[in-house]
A and B are shown apart, each in its own frame.
Chain A
Amino acid sequence: MELRAIVLIAGIVFCSHVSAQTPEWIIQPNICVAQRVGDECKLTFRIETQNMPTELLCLFLDGQLLSCSQQAYFYKKISITIKQNVLIELKNKAQKTILSKKLLIKYLEPHEHRRRIRPPWSLF
């Protein structure tokens, strides 16, 4: 009985320890607002990280290198210009993705529509 309790407690402590070591990040803001479809959108965001491995980690935007930092400590804000949703990834030297997140673009003006000239499903 005592042995079971010890194993259980040890398991909980181990799991919580492992959980605490999982790399995490917060990217804010992660949505860029443009006027209309096709417009470029400038997004300036900051990255807060936790539990990063002690190695050089690099940021990639849709596969393009943005910046590198020891232990992913990006103390300056990062500015990018996008025309569509993009994927930002944090990779280590071995190109293994540690974290990733999609940065979204939204539009103030909805998609432009045109009237169709011929009515669909019309028999004449």
Chain B
Amino acid sequence: MYTAFFRLLIILCMFVSRTILACSEDGTCIEKSSWQLGFAFGVGVKTNPLVDGDNIPLVILPDIAWYAEKAYFDNGELGYQWLSQPTFAFETFLQLDRESAFFSFLHPANILVSTENAASHSTNVSALPDLSVSPDENIQNNQRSLSIDDIVSRKWAINGGIRGHYFLSIGEWQLTLQQDISNIHQGQQVGLEYSHRWLWHDFRLGLRVGTDWKSADLIDYYFGVSQRDTSLSRFYFEGKSGWQTYMSINAQKPINENWSWLANIGYRRLPNSLLSSPLIDQNNIRNVFLGVAYRF
């Protein structure tokens, strides 16, 4: 999967001009003190890495944003930008911990489509673990798996975060720190992301590559299994901190003033420390969507 992405990236770099996008030329900017609303309709899917998790069909993707002079709300994130300069920006924000989206279909992250997904799950405690094989093999063989319907529900945590931006002429770096402020798991996460945009004729292309470090507290709360979940000790799993790397490509081609074609593809790899959790069935999350977007 990674190889395919990098090949696609190289092709993009070869054939796409390095046109710098002005703020008003694409949908990444918004007029101050205004709302930006949109819906995308199409076909797509998000895979679900949890045991027995159904993939999420992507049919309608809303886009809801409001920006004032400093404050903003953007697809579930409420924040205040303290510094906004041509080269640097810095904000603090609140958002629901997107990790909990794995455990609740109605989580906003599944509706506002910003990150990993959640799904419904069937009840199933499968075969006993085979300790003679590696965790990866365990996952492939779907052994020692535990359905989330058989464990205690995971609460929605609220994260407080700080994010810094460094803008280049044709790209942007982001560094994000988040801390659970709702005292649900008391975990932290740190994210580093690079995003790049191109304008090729009237095609707007975007690439994002990043990695998130998630603390042991966070991972253990969501993906750990202990006495709180089951009395069967063979399912016990203690989550450890780990890195999630991801990459996504977004393409848009305007049809008219309001409508545009939209295509998205994304891949996120779960940390190795998570792969032996009995709740995890796949070591990655994949997204793909193709459709049309309407901007009000």
Contact = CB atoms under 8 A, between A and B. Distances in A.
Interface of A: 110-124
Contact of B293 (A110, A111, A115, A121): A121
Given A119-B208, A121-B40, A124-B287, A111 B63 contact: no
A120 B38 CA distance: 9
A30 to B, nearest CB: 26
B28 interface: yes
B186 interface: no
A116 B30 contact: yes
Nearest to B72: A117
The SS class assigned to the A binding surface is loop
B89 A115 contact: yes
A121 B61 contact: yes
B77 A114 contact: no
B248 A123 contact: yes
Given A121-B250, A122-B248, A114 B32 contact: yes
A116 B26 CA distance: 11
A124 B23 contact: no
Contact of A120 (B36, B91, B268): B36
A71 to B, nearest CB: 44
B27 A124 contact: no
Given A119-B195, A120-B75, A124-B248, 19 more contacts: A111-B32, A113-B24, A113-B29, A113-B32, A114-B29, A115-B29, A116-B29, A117-B72, A117-B165, A118-B75, A119-B208, A119-B250, A120-B27, A120-B28, A121-B250, A122-B113, A122-B114, A123-B113, A123-B264
Contacts of A111: 31-32
A121 B63 contact: yes
Nearest to A38: B33
Contacts of A110: 24
B31 A113 contact: yes
18 contacts: A113-B30, A113-B32, A114-B30, A114-B72, A116-B28, A116-B74, A118-B75, A119-B206, A119-B208, A120-B27, A121-B63, A122-B113, A122-B114, A122-B206, A123-B113, A123-B289, A124-B210, A124-B248
